[in-house]
Amino acid sequence: MARHRVIRAALASVVAAALGCGTLAGPAAAQSLTDRFKSLFGGGKSEEPAEKPAPGEGQSRESDVLCPPVAIRSGASTYAVGAPGKEPVGSDLRFQATITRTARECAINGGEITARIGIQGRIIVGPAGAPPTVQVPLRVAVVQGGVSEKTIATKAYQTTVTMSESGSEPFTLVAEDMTFPAPSADVAENYIFYIGFDPQALKPEPKPKAVRKK
Protein backbone atom coordinates (compact mmCIF):
# COMPACT_ATOMS: atom_id res chain seq x y z
CA MET A 1 0.00 0.00 0.00
CA ALA A 2 2.80 2.39 0.85
CA ARG A 3 4.39 1.67 -2.52
CA HIS A 4 1.10 2.42 -4.29
CA ARG A 5 0.83 5.74 -2.45
CA VAL A 6 4.34 6.68 -3.58
CA ILE A 7 3.50 5.85 -7.20
CA ARG A 8 0.28 7.88 -7.07
CA ALA A 9 2.14 10.81 -5.54
CA ALA A 10 4.75 10.66 -8.29
CA LEU A 11 2.08 10.60 -11.00
CA ALA A 12 0.34 13.55 -9.39
CA SER A 13 3.59 15.49 -9.44
CA VAL A 14 4.10 14.75 -13.14
CA VAL A 15 0.55 15.83 -14.00
CA ALA A 16 0.91 19.01 -11.97
CA ALA A 17 4.17 19.83 -13.71
CA ALA A 18 2.57 19.25 -17.10
CA LEU A 19 -0.33 21.52 -16.22
CA GLY A 20 2.10 24.14 -15.00
CA CYS A 21 3.92 24.02 -18.34
CA GLY A 22 0.60 24.37 -20.12
CA THR A 23 -0.22 27.58 -18.28
CA LEU A 24 3.12 29.02 -19.33
CA ALA A 25 2.76 28.03 -22.97
CA GLY A 26 0.77 31.11 -23.97
CA PRO A 27 3.62 32.94 -25.79
CA ALA A 28 4.30 29.83 -27.88
CA ALA A 29 0.82 30.19 -29.37
CA ALA A 30 1.97 33.49 -30.86
CA GLN A 31 4.73 31.78 -32.85
CA SER A 32 5.73 33.14 -36.24
CA LEU A 33 3.96 32.11 -39.40
CA THR A 34 7.05 30.18 -40.52
CA ASP A 35 7.01 28.20 -37.30
CA ARG A 36 3.32 27.47 -37.79
CA PHE A 37 3.99 26.26 -41.31
CA LYS A 38 6.86 24.09 -40.15
CA SER A 39 4.57 22.62 -37.53
CA LEU A 40 1.77 22.18 -40.06
CA PHE A 41 3.78 21.20 -43.11
CA GLY A 42 6.69 19.51 -41.41
CA GLY A 43 9.22 22.07 -42.72
CA GLY A 44 11.17 21.49 -45.90
CA LYS A 45 13.77 23.00 -48.16
CA SER A 46 11.08 24.74 -50.21
CA GLU A 47 10.25 27.01 -47.30
CA GLU A 48 12.06 30.31 -46.87
CA PRO A 49 12.35 31.78 -43.36
CA ALA A 50 9.99 34.69 -42.87
CA GLU A 51 11.08 37.82 -41.08
CA LYS A 52 9.51 38.17 -37.67
CA PRO A 53 7.86 41.52 -37.00
CA ALA A 54 9.04 43.54 -34.04
CA PRO A 55 6.99 42.93 -30.86
CA GLY A 56 3.72 44.82 -31.13
CA GLU A 57 4.49 46.15 -34.58
CA GLY A 58 1.24 46.44 -36.52
CA GLN A 59 -0.29 43.41 -34.85
CA SER A 60 -3.45 43.10 -32.80
CA ARG A 61 -5.67 40.41 -31.36
CA GLU A 62 -8.33 41.92 -33.59
CA SER A 63 -6.52 40.34 -36.53
CA ASP A 64 -7.65 36.93 -35.30
CA VAL A 65 -11.24 38.09 -35.77
CA LEU A 66 -10.64 39.82 -39.10
CA CYS A 67 -8.48 37.07 -40.64
CA PRO A 68 -10.77 35.33 -43.15
CA PRO A 69 -10.79 31.55 -43.54
CA VAL A 70 -9.08 29.90 -46.52
CA ALA A 71 -10.99 27.90 -49.14
CA ILE A 72 -9.95 26.35 -52.43
CA ARG A 73 -11.79 27.89 -55.35
CA SER A 74 -14.13 25.44 -57.06
CA GLY A 75 -12.58 24.10 -60.25
CA ALA A 76 -9.08 25.30 -59.29
CA SER A 77 -7.98 22.55 -56.90
CA THR A 78 -5.90 20.67 -59.50
CA TYR A 79 -3.49 21.67 -62.25
CA ALA A 80 -2.86 19.15 -65.01
CA VAL A 81 -0.51 19.54 -67.98
CA GLY A 82 -0.45 17.29 -71.02
CA ALA A 83 2.10 16.57 -73.72
CA PRO A 84 2.53 19.40 -76.27
CA GLY A 85 -0.67 19.78 -78.27
CA LYS A 86 -2.45 17.10 -76.19
CA GLU A 87 -5.12 17.16 -73.52
CA PRO A 88 -3.87 16.22 -70.02
CA VAL A 89 -5.67 12.87 -69.91
CA GLY A 90 -4.64 9.23 -70.05
CA SER A 91 -1.21 8.49 -71.47
CA ASP A 92 -0.81 12.13 -72.57
CA LEU A 93 -0.71 13.45 -68.98
CA ARG A 94 2.70 14.88 -68.07
CA PHE A 95 1.96 15.81 -64.46
CA GLN A 96 -0.81 16.85 -62.13
CA ALA A 97 -0.57 19.15 -59.10
CA THR A 98 -3.01 19.26 -56.21
CA ILE A 99 -3.38 21.44 -53.12
CA THR A 100 -3.31 19.51 -49.86
CA ARG A 101 -2.98 22.00 -46.98
CA THR A 102 -3.36 25.70 -46.25
CA ALA A 103 -2.64 28.14 -43.44
CA ARG A 104 -3.02 31.87 -42.89
CA GLU A 105 -2.06 34.69 -40.56
CA CYS A 106 -3.14 38.34 -40.52
CA ALA A 107 -1.84 41.55 -38.98
CA ILE A 108 -3.59 44.93 -38.81
CA ASN A 109 -1.74 48.18 -39.25
CA GLY A 110 -3.39 51.54 -39.80
CA GLY A 111 -6.70 50.12 -40.99
CA GLU A 112 -5.02 47.77 -43.46
CA ILE A 113 -4.68 44.01 -43.16
CA THR A 114 -1.53 42.26 -44.32
CA ALA A 115 -2.12 38.55 -44.80
CA ARG A 116 0.32 35.69 -45.19
CA ILE A 117 -1.15 32.67 -46.91
CA GLY A 118 0.57 29.28 -46.89
CA ILE A 119 -0.19 26.69 -49.54
CA GLN A 120 1.18 23.17 -49.69
CA GLY A 121 0.54 20.59 -52.37
CA ARG A 122 2.01 17.76 -54.37
CA ILE A 123 2.98 17.11 -57.98
CA ILE A 124 2.58 13.61 -59.40
CA VAL A 125 4.24 12.63 -62.67
CA GLY A 126 1.96 11.23 -65.39
CA PRO A 127 2.58 8.59 -68.08
CA ALA A 128 3.99 11.15 -70.54
CA GLY A 129 6.69 12.18 -68.08
CA ALA A 130 7.22 15.54 -66.41
CA PRO A 131 9.98 18.03 -67.27
CA PRO A 132 13.00 18.41 -64.91
CA THR A 133 11.39 21.49 -63.33
CA VAL A 134 7.74 22.43 -63.04
CA GLN A 135 6.30 25.93 -62.69
CA VAL A 136 3.31 25.91 -60.35
CA PRO A 137 0.94 28.88 -60.92
CA LEU A 138 -1.28 29.89 -58.02
CA ARG A 139 -3.65 32.73 -57.24
CA VAL A 140 -4.79 34.15 -53.92
CA ALA A 141 -7.88 36.36 -53.75
CA VAL A 142 -9.72 38.14 -50.97
CA VAL A 143 -13.43 37.96 -51.68
CA GLN A 144 -16.45 39.44 -49.95
CA GLY A 145 -19.17 36.83 -50.24
CA GLY A 146 -22.88 37.41 -50.35
CA VAL A 147 -25.61 37.65 -52.95
CA SER A 148 -23.02 38.92 -55.40
CA GLU A 149 -19.34 38.21 -54.73
CA LYS A 150 -16.95 41.14 -54.69
CA THR A 151 -13.22 40.67 -55.21
CA ILE A 152 -11.33 42.91 -52.80
CA ALA A 153 -7.79 41.96 -53.82
CA THR A 154 -6.15 39.30 -55.96
CA LYS A 155 -2.59 38.35 -56.83
CA ALA A 156 -0.86 35.62 -58.83
CA TYR A 157 2.18 33.68 -57.60
CA GLN A 158 4.55 31.07 -58.96
CA THR A 159 6.85 28.52 -57.41
CA THR A 160 9.36 26.25 -59.13
CA VAL A 161 9.61 22.58 -58.22
CA THR A 162 12.53 20.36 -59.18
CA MET A 163 11.24 16.91 -60.03
CA SER A 164 12.97 13.70 -59.01
CA GLU A 165 12.84 10.09 -60.11
CA SER A 166 10.37 9.33 -57.32
CA GLY A 167 7.52 10.59 -59.50
CA SER A 168 6.03 12.64 -56.67
CA GLU A 169 7.26 15.95 -55.26
CA PRO A 170 5.76 18.33 -52.66
CA PHE A 171 5.63 22.09 -53.05
CA THR A 172 5.12 24.93 -50.61
CA LEU A 173 4.34 28.57 -51.28
CA VAL A 174 4.06 31.36 -48.73
CA ALA A 175 2.39 34.49 -50.09
CA GLU A 176 3.42 37.25 -47.70
CA ASP A 177 2.32 40.44 -49.45
CA MET A 178 -1.46 40.24 -49.72
CA THR A 179 -2.89 43.49 -48.35
CA PHE A 180 -6.43 44.87 -48.27
CA PRO A 181 -8.48 47.39 -46.27
CA ALA A 182 -9.79 46.04 -42.98
CA PRO A 183 -13.53 45.32 -43.42
CA SER A 184 -16.18 46.77 -41.17
CA ALA A 185 -17.57 44.50 -38.47
CA ASP A 186 -20.89 43.99 -40.25
CA VAL A 187 -19.28 42.39 -43.35
CA ALA A 188 -16.07 40.90 -41.90
CA GLU A 189 -17.63 37.45 -41.48
CA ASN A 190 -18.38 37.36 -45.23
CA TYR A 191 -14.72 37.72 -46.20
CA ILE A 192 -12.82 34.67 -47.43
CA PHE A 193 -9.43 33.87 -48.93
CA TYR A 194 -9.87 31.89 -52.14
CA ILE A 195 -6.84 30.05 -53.45
CA GLY A 196 -6.34 27.86 -56.49
CA PHE A 197 -4.23 27.09 -59.52
CA ASP A 198 -4.24 29.72 -62.23
CA PRO A 199 -2.46 28.75 -65.48
CA GLN A 200 -2.92 32.34 -66.71
CA ALA A 201 -0.33 33.36 -64.11
CA LEU A 202 2.36 31.71 -66.24
CA LYS A 203 1.71 34.10 -69.10
CA PRO A 204 3.70 37.35 -69.12
CA GLU A 205 1.81 40.48 -68.21
CA PRO A 206 0.81 42.48 -71.32
CA LYS A 207 3.01 45.49 -71.88
CA PRO A 208 1.23 48.81 -71.45
CA LYS A 209 0.64 50.62 -74.68
CA ALA A 210 2.86 53.60 -75.24
CA VAL A 211 1.04 56.91 -75.11
CA ARG A 212 1.82 59.12 -78.07
CA LYS A 213 2.77 62.61 -77.21
CA LYS A 214 0.84 65.28 -79.00
Give residue-wise pLDDT tens across range 131-143: 999 999 999 999 9
Instruction: State the Cα–Cα distance between residues 64 and 180, nearest whole angstrom.
Output: 15
Q: What is the pLDDT of residues 6-46, one digit of tens each?
A: 334 433 343 333 333 333 233 333 345 456 555 544 444 43
| Confidence bin at 202 (pLDDT 50/70/90) | confident
Residues 141-151 pLDDT 10s: 999 988 888 99
Number of Cβ within a 10 Å radius of residue 146? 9
Task: Label residue 210 by pLDDT band (50, 70, 90).
Answer: low
CA 40 vs CA 35, 48, 119, 194: distances in Å: 8, 15, 11, 19
Which of 44-48, 73-77, 89-93 shows the lowest per-residue confidence on average (mean pLDDT)? 44-48
Q: Higher pLDDT residue, 88 or 43?
A: 88
pLDDT, residue 206, reads: 56
Is pTM, for the whole model, over 0.85? Answer: no
Write the pLDDT tens digit of every residue in 160-199. Answer: 999 998 999 999 999 988 999 999 888 999 999 999 999 9
DSSP annotation of 52: P
